[in-house]
Structure 1
Amino acid sequence: MRRFTCLTLFVFLPLFFGTANAQTTTDSVKTAVNSLFTAMMHADSVALMKCFAPGAVLQTVVKDKQGTVSVRTEAISGFASSIGQLPKDAADERITFDVVKIDGDLATAWTPYNFYFQQQLLHCGVNSFQLVRLAEGWKIQYIIDTRRKNGCQ
C-alpha cells in the first residue's frame, strides 16, 4: 500500500504543480494586459508606457466607406500622450479573455471588448495581444484590434 501511495504521489503531484504554474503564468499575462486598461482608466500615460516592451507596435484594422480594408499604425508614445490628456475614468475599455496561449517567453491574448468613452458605448471589437516576458515581467510587444459600431453588446 505504501508503495502505491508513493507511486501515486510521484505521478500526480507534478501534474498538479505543473497546472498551478501554468495558471500562475496565465494570470500574470492577464495582469499585464489589464494593467494597460487600468492605466487608460486613470489617464496615466506613464503607467501606460510601462505596459509596453521597447519597440512595441499598435495597429488597428480599418475599413473605409468604400469597404476597403487597411491597417493603421499609431505610435505608442502618441497613444499614451492622448490618453494622458483625458479626464480620469473617461476611457473605459471592458475586455474579456477569450484565449490566452503561452510558449516560454511569448504569449498571445485574444480579448473581445466594448469601449466606453465618458460612459457611452463608442465601439467594440477584438484586441489581439502579443506579449514577451522580459526581466521586468510580461510586456506588450504588439496589439492589433478591430473596431465597429454595430453589433456591440
Structure 2
Amino acid sequence: MKMISIVVFCLLTFMSQAQQNEKDEVMKVINQVFEAMRTNDSTLLKKSFVAEPNTFTAFVDKDGISKLVSGDFQRFKNAVGQAKEQVWNEPIWNEKVEIDGNLASVWVDYAFYVDDQFSHCGVDAFHLIKRDDGWKIFHLVDTRRKENCEIPDKFKP
C-alpha cells in the first residue's frame, strides 16, 4: 500500500510540474506582447500571434451603451513598431491560465500607461493555440475604462 501511495504521489507531482511548465510557456507568449509594446518591437509582437488574429475591444460608451468593436491587428502591429518618444507600458496581474490540450485561455487585469501617464485599465482575455512552433494568440479581446481601476501599488508609476 505504501508503494502505491509513493507511485501516485510521484505521478501527481510530475503531472503538476508538466502543467505548470505549459502555463509558463503560455505566459511567456503573453509577456512577449507587452515587452514588444514597451520596446516598439513589431517583430516580437508578430511572433506571439497567428497570421490573422481576431481582436476586439469591449467597453461602455459615454452614453452608457455597451459596445464591441473589432480591431485591426495590422494597424496595431504597425503602431507598436512605430518609433515614438513615449513608452507604452501595460503591467498585468491576476493571471488566470487554463489549458486543455492545444487550447489555452488567459485572463489578466491590466493598466495602460503612456510613459508615467495613466490612460486606462481593464482586462485582457487571450485565446491561444499550440502549434509545432509553440503557442500563438489567435483571439484577443480587452475591456477599457478610466474609472474603478484597482491597480496594485507596485504597478503605479
Aligned-partner SS, 1:53: strand
Moved over 4 A (4+): none
TM-score by length of 2: 0.89
The aligned residue for residue 155 of structure 2 is: none
Q: Which residue of 1 aligns with 2:95?
A: 98
Q: Which moved more, 1:43-52 or 1:81-90?
A: 81-90
Higher mean C-alpha deviation, range 94-103 or range 142-151: 94-103
Q: CA deviation at 1:142?
A: 0.6
Verify the 8 A CA contact 1:43 1:89 in the aligned structure 2.
Answer: no
Report whether the alignment pairs 1:75 with 2:72: yes
RMSD after superposition: 1.6
Q: In structure 2, how many angstroms separate the alpha carbons of the residues matched to 1:58 and 1:126?
A: 13
- Per the normalisation by structure 1, the TM-score is 0.91
Looking at structure 2, the residues matched to 97 and 30 of structure 1 have their Cα atoms a distance apart, in angstroms, of 12
- For structure 2, the 5+ residue unaligned runs are 152-157
Partner in structure 2 of residue 40 of structure 1: 37
Looking at structure 2, the residues matched to 74 and 139 of structure 1 have their Cα atoms a distance apart, in angstroms, of 18
Residues 92-112 of structure 1 deviation map (CA, whole Å, 9 limit, x = unaligned): 000014311100000011100
Structure 1: runs of 5+ lacking an equivalent: none
Match of 2:84 in 1: 87
After TM superposition, list the pairs within 5 Å mapping 1:1-150 onto structure 2.
4=2, 6-87=3-84, 90-150=87-147
Sort the Cα spacing of 1:97 and 1:133 in 2 relative to 1 into closer, same or farther, 3 A: farther
Q: Distance in 2 between matches of 1:40 and 1:74?
A: 16
Larger Rg: 1
Counterpart code for 1:123: H
Structure 1 residues 114 and 86, CA gap change in structure 2 (3 angstroms): farther
- % identity of equivalent residues: 35
Matched length: 150
Answer yes or no: is the 8 Å Cα contact 1:98–1:110 preserved in 2: yes
